[in-house]
Each structure stands twice: as C-alpha cells, then as structure tokens.
C-alpha cells in the first residue's frame, strides 16, 4: 500500500491531482510560490507538495499555515534513511524495469558532467517521489534546476507529464539557458511558465518555437497589500526601506554606499534592510560595510522579516529602494515581489533600469529608475523622494494601478490553473472543493522514506 498521511482517505488522496516539486517549502524568501499554492487551492485546484529539503528557517509567513495540501519532504541524506531509500529503489526497479535503468544511466551521465553525488541524490529522491504518485496526473516543478531535475527523472521512469515554472537564477546564472541538460528538461516539458516577457524571450531564443512558453507574472494579494492610509497633513519619517535575500544581485552594498552619500550631503534619513543571507557570511559583510562607512546610526539590518511584519514597515516608509544589479555569474533579479508590494501600498520606489523590471516600473511615472551600480544616481533619486512630497504622491497614485493591471494574483494564477486543468484533460471551468488534510505522518509502505509535514 502506498504511504499517505494519517487521517486522509484513499478518495482524498486521489483528489490531489497536481504534484508540486519544490526546493524547500515553505521558504520565507519565496512568497511568490506560497501565493501561488494558496491561490490555486482557493480556486479549487487540489495540490500535493514534494519538498527536496526540510524547512529549517526560524521565521515563517503566517499564511503558510493556511496551505491545505500535504507537503512531503523527500529524503536528503542516505545515512539518515538508508532502508527507506533502498526499498523505494527496489520497488521502482521492479515495477518499471528498463525505464528505471535508462533513467539511472541518464542521471549518471548528467552527474559525470558536474556533481555525481548530487545527481545520485536527486535520482533516489525521484524514486521516492514515484512511490507517492497515486492520484497525481502530472508534476509541476518550480525552478529548472534541482526540482526540475527530480521531476524529469520521475518522468523518465514513469512517463508522467510535467511542466516547469522558471524564475531568474535558474535561467541566467552560469548561462544555464544554453546548457544542453537544462534545455532537454525544458523542451520535454508540456508547458513552461516564464515570470516576465524578458524571460520568455530568452527561453524562446534558447528552445525555438516548439516549446510551449507562457508568460504568467507572479502576482500578489491586492487585498493584503492595500493602499496605506496617511492622515491628511501628516508626514512620514525619512525612512528608506529595502528587503530581499542578502545576495549580490539585490544591490544592498550599493544602497549602503548611497546612504553614505546622503549623509555627506546633510540629508536626514534612516535606512532599514530586511532579509537574510543564504550563507552565514553574507550578513556580516554588510554589517562591516555599515561600520566602515560610519553609518551605524543611520542603517539597520533587520534580518528575516515575515510578511505580516513587512506590512508595518511599508506603512512607515517614505521610499522603498532596491538597486538590483546583474551579478558576475549572470544571476539577476526579474520582478521582485517586494517592488510590487511597495507599489501596491503606495510607497514610492527607486530601483534599477533592468529589462524585466521595466515591465513593472516606468521611470518618472510610477517610480524612479537608475543605472545598475550607479551609487551617485541612486543617492540623488533617494534624496529627491525624501524631499519632494508632491512627487512621491504623484508616483504612488500611479503605482498601484500598474500592479492591479498586471500583477493581481487571482487573475494571473487563474491562467496557470487553466494550464494545469488542460494538461489533465479537464474542463477549465472545473472546480474541485479542497478538503483539509489530517495530521501529518505516513502509514507503512514506504518505510518512512517520505515524511509529511504541514506548513
């Protein structure tokens, strides 16, 4: 018998028609995936979530608790669950025979061109995933890297159709769009979701006309990020707000240097940066830069901040800044959700003139754009908004309109829902009530190899 969460009937398990394969879920820096899951469930699409890594973050978004789908963590370490992994391999090998062997050979070839140990891990995760496919019509991977690798291996074994949502790092870092292994995963997907026109054009250049590429912007909840209310005649403190992962492409070092320029010009301000790094060294580097530039009294690094707390920061901010850059390895931002959130709430923004960002921000109309890496230009734009309340009001009045037109998650994820339903051969008008699942845990059958957790 296939393992499934205690308290969930076989009938309920069969209603989980789309399997979402994610790197880690939930993840505080990936609100766009959480928004997508919640909205698809609200629109009646049952999901089953497979996470390649167990969540280990100390801060989480409160709305993650609203996810109804069972979320299972595929095993990461062979020494922790060796028997479960071996049993899953044996089961899949017995059932699929030659397909299992061909998929394993393919995975070894991929590993020889890079990290063989990681490739083997992704294969055993794919086999564990295969043992949990009851009632799932197709798989959908977020990111063309690790999640799509596991999904593709499951496809090679079982033939299950799959689709992929692409983002930024997974396409542009290290020239992945021209990587033959990545291209194969993309070409064999039933459809590909690009989160910007810029990304879609890059995918078409890489894959040709045969690939089914759909541009669906990551949306935000316009009810949560409603226009802030500033009392008539009231003034905001001169607060510059920024948020994001503490990685090079976000441009936080540039923002801190721009703050030094503002201090040199005698401009009164405070700056708060919300976010954490992927590596433990990233926060100390920025802390050291703040100290070196003598900005301890002006610049504060907040660490990880949950979405409900960010709302209060947006309410206080005079301006939101995110001076994105293209990193040396090609990694870049596409359309950061924090820009959409700030604009939806009426916070004037300053960001970088990059192709995808220009799909959101029109310079001088709903925000200000500066050349990536230009510290002086950034400082001047920040100073302008800190001092010109009329300009701030003008930009803010137009910014929410752009978000409403292009980035409403209800409208955008309804299009994604249609793609999933068509792939399953179902009517796009079909709605399936979502049944809350029972407590986490699996019955015997996969020897505990897939562990269920609830966000």
| Residue 241 φ then ψ, to 5° | -110, 145
Q: Which two tokens stand for residue 11?
A: 């009938």
With contact defined as beta carbons under 8 Å apart, do 452 and 441 qualify? yes
First to last CA, the chain: 26
The residue among 260, 256, 243, 320 whose CA lies nearest residue 285 is: 256
Q: Cα–Cα distances in Å, from 149 out to 25, 205, 304, 376, 379? A: 17, 22, 29, 43, 43
127-138 pLDDT, tens digit per residue, is: 999 999 988 999
Is 193 within 8 Å of 332 (Cβ atoms)?
no
Confidence of residue 17 (pLDDT cuts 50, 70, 90): confident
Burial of 123 (0-12, 13-18, 19+ CB in 10 A): buried
d(CA 317, CA 237): 7
Instruction: Give me the mean pLDDT over the 403-425 stretch.
Output: 95
Q: Up-side HSE of residue 93: CA atoms within 13 Å toward CB?
A: 10
Amino acid 24: pLDDT:
95
Q: Which CATH number fits domain 239-406: 3.30.2020.30, 3.40.720.10, 3.30.420.40, 3.40.50.2000?
A: 3.40.50.2000
Contact predicate 123/78, CB 8 Å:
no
Query: Token pair for residue 14?
Result: 């069969």
The model carries a pTM of 0.88
Can you tell me the distance from the alpha carbon of 209 to that of 211, in angstroms, rounded to the nearest whole number? 6
Among candidate residues 344, 361, 393, the one with its CA nearest the CA of residue 227: 344
pLDDT in tens, 329-350: 999 999 999 999 999 999 999 9
Q: What is the pLDDT of residue 345?
A: 97
Helix (H, G, I), strand (E, B) or coil at 306: coil
pLDDT per residue over 19-67, tens digit each? 999 999 999 889 999 999 999 999 999 999 999 999 887 778 889 999 9
Q: What is the 3-state secondary structure (H, E, C) of 110-125?
A: HHHCCCHHHHHHHHHH
Does position 452 have pLDDT exceeding 50, yes or no?
A: no
Q: How many CB atoms lie within 10 A of CB 366?
A: 21
Confidence of residue 234 (pLDDT cuts 50, 70, 90): low
pLDDT of residue 278: 75
Confidence check: pLDDT of 451 > 60: no
Q: DSSP for 339-379? A: HHHHHHHT--EEEE--TTGGGT--BTTTBEEE-TT-HHHHH
Mean pLDDT of the chain: 89
Pairing of strands 47-53, 18-24: parallel
Query: Which CATH number is 10-219+408-453 given?
Result: 3.40.50.2000
CATH 3.40.50.2000 domain span(s) along the chain:
10-219+408-453, 239-406
pLDDT of 429 reads: 67
What whole-number distance in Å separates Cα of residue 455 and Cα of residue 446? 22
* Phi, psi dihedral angles at 234 (to 5 degrees): -80, 160
Number of Cβ within a 10 Å radius of residue 243: 26
Asked if residue 15 has pLDDT above 70, the reply is no
**Model pLDDT, residue 446:** 36
Q: Omega before 26 cis (within 30°)?
A: yes
For residue 192, which phi and psi values (nearest 5 degrees)? Answer: -125, 135
């Amino acid at each position: 018998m296939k393992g499934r969460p205690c308290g969930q009937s076989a009938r309920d398990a069969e209603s989980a028609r789309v399997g979402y394969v994610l790197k880690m879920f939930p993840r505080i820096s990936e609100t766009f995936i959480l928004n997508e899951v919640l909205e698809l469930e609200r629109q009646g699409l049952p999901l089953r979530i497979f996470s390649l890594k167990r969540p280990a973050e100390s801060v989480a978004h409160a709305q993650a608790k609203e996810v109804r789908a069972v979320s299972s963590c595929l095993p990461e370490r062979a020494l922790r669950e060796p028997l479960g992994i071996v049993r899953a391999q044996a089961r899949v090998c017995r059932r699929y025979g030659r397909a299992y062997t061909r998929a394993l050979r393919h995975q070894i070839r991929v590993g020889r061109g890079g990290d063989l140990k990681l490739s083997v891990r992704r294969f055993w995760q794919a086999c564990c995933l295969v043992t949990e496919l009851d009632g799932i019509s197709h798989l959908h991977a977020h990111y063309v890297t690790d999640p799509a690798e596991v999904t593709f291996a499951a496809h090679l074994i079982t033939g299950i159709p799959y689709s992929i949502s692409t983002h930024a790092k997974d396409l542009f870092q290290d020239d992945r769009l021209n990587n033959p292994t990545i291209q194969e995963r993309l070409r064999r997907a039933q459809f590909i979701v690009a989160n910007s026109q810029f990304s879609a054009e890059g995918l078409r250049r890489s894959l040709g006309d045969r690939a089914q590429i759909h541009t669906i912007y990551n949306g935000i909840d316009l009810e949560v990020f409603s226009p802030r209310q500033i009392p008539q005649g009231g003034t905001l403190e001169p607060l510059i707000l920024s948020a994001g992962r503490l990685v090079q492409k976000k441009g936080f070092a540039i923002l801190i240097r721009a703050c030094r320029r503002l201090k040199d010009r005698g401009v009164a301000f405070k700056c708060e940066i919300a976010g954490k790094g992927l590596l433990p060294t990233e926060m100390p580097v920025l802390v050291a830069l703040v100290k070196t530039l003598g900005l301890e009294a002006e610049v504060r690094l907040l660490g990880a901040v949950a979405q409900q707390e960010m709302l209060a920061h947006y309410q206080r901010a005079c301006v939101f800044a995110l001076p994105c850059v293209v990193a040396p390895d090609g990694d870049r931002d596409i359309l950061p959700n924090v820009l959409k959130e700030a604009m939806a709430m009426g916070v004037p923004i300053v960001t970088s003139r990059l192709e995808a960002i220009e799909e959101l921000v029109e310079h001088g109309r709903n925000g200000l754009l500066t050349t990536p890496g230009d510290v002086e230009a950034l400082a001047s734009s920040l100073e302008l908004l800190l001092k010109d309340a009329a300009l701030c009001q003008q930009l803010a009045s137009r910014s929410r309109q752009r978000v409403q037109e292009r980035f409403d998650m209800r409208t955008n994820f309804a299009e994604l829902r249609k793609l999933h339903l068509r792939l399953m051969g179902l009517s796009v008008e079909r709605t399936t009530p979502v049944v809350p699942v029972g407590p986490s845990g699996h019955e015997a059958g996969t020897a505990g190899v897939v562990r269920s957790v609830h966000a």
